[in-house]
Amino acid sequence: MSTAIAPVDAGPRKSSDLRGRLEQLLAFAGLIVIVVFFAIANENFRTFSNITAILFSTVVIGILALGTTFVIITGGIDLSIGTGMTLCAVMSGVFLINWNLPLGLGLLLTVLFGGLIGLVNGFNVAILGLPPFIATLAMMLVAQGLALVLSNSAPIYFSVLPAFSEISTGEIIPKVPNAVLVLLVLAVLAAILLGRTLFGRYTFSIGSNEEATELSGINTRKWKLIIYTVAGLFTGIAGIMISARLGSAQPATGQGYELQAIAAVVIGGTSLTGGKGSIVGTVIGALIISVLNNGLRIMSIPQEWQNVILGLVILGAVYADMARKRTT
C-alpha cells in the first residue's frame, strides 16, 4: 500500500520535509524569543514554580490541540472538542461517582466515550459527507446540552475519590505535576502516530490531495473515520485531566477551548487547508499561547491588551502560512 501512494507524494515530500523542519524552527524561535523577552523583562517569570505553572496551564488545551492536529492536517476541523471535553468530564463523574465504577475502568470508559463522540463526527464527515465545520458545530451543541442534562446542570464532585485528583496534581517526579507528564507522553505518542505510521502518512496524504489518495487505492473514508475517532480519544483524556484538576466536573465550561486549541495548532505551523503540520509544532504553539498569557499577566498588562496581542500572534501565524504557500 505504501508503494501505491509513492507516486503521489514521494517527490515533494523530501523538500517539504525540509521546509517543515524550517517552519518548526521558526515557531520554536518565536517561542524562545518571547521566553527570553519575558525572562529579561520580569525576574518573577524565571522562577521554577512559574515555569511549572506555565506547563500546567498548557495541559488541557495542549491535549485537545494534539488530537485536532490530525483532523486539521486532513483539511478538516473539529469544533466539538471543547464541549466534547466537558461532556467527557461529566461522563467521568457519572462513571466514577454515580455508578461507583473502579477508577481504571471509569477512566477507560471516559476515554472510549470521547472516542465515540469522535466516531459520530467521523461518520458524519467521512461516510455521510457533511462539511466538517457543520457536523462538528452540531456536535458541539449536542455535547454541551448533554453535559448539562447528564449532570442535572450541577457540578459532580470527586472529593470522595482523592486518587482521581492525583492524576492531575500528584507528583510522580518531584515538583512536576503529573498532568505535565501526561501531556508529554501523549505528545510523544501523537508524534509517533503522525510521523512513523501508515496512519500518519494517510493523514497527510488525505490532506494534500484526497482524490489522488482515493485513486491510489486507499479507503479515505475509513481513514477519516479513524482520524476523527482519534481526535475524540484525545477529547476524552482532556476531559479526565480537567475534571481531575478541578476535583469536579463542571458542566457549564468548555466552550471556547476548541478555538484556543485550534489557535495552538495554527500557531504551530499546521495549515488550515490541510496537508501540512506537525505535533512538535502544535506543542510549541500551545506553549506560545500559555507563555504569552502568563508573561503578560505577570507584567500586569491589562487583560484587554492581552487578548489583542494573542490575536495578533494568531494573525501572524496565518500570514506566515499564506506566505509559505505563495513561495511553493
Residues at the contact surface with other proteins, assessed by CB under 8 A? 42, 44-45, 47, 49-50, 53, 56-57, 60, 124, 128-130, 134, 138, 144, 148, 153-155, 157, 159, 169, 177, 242, 245-248, 250-253, 255, 290, 293-294, 297-300, 302-304
- Give the number of residues written for the chain: 328
Closer by beta carbon to other proteins, 165 or else 282? 165
Cβ atoms 283, 235 nearer than 8 A: no
Cβ atoms 148, 250 nearer than 8 A: no
Beta carbons within 8 Å of 233's beta carbon, 6+ residues apart: 67, 111, 112, 114, 115, 118
Least distance to other proteins from the beta carbon of 174, Å? 12
Closer by beta carbon to other proteins, 49 or else 328? 49
Cβ atoms 230, 223 nearer than 8 A: no
249: enclosing H helix or E strand: strand 248-249
Least distance to other proteins from the beta carbon of 122, Å? 14
Least distance to other proteins from the beta carbon of 26, Å? 27
C-alpha cell at 109: 470508559
Closer by beta carbon to other proteins, 92 or else 253? 253
What type of residue sits at position 234? F
Closer by beta carbon to other proteins, 20 or else 247? 247
Closer by beta carbon to other proteins, 3 or else 211? 211
Least distance to other proteins from the beta carbon of 53, Å? 4
Least distance to other proteins from the beta carbon of 196, Å? 33
Q: Residue 248 — φ and ψ, nearest 5°?
A: -165, 155
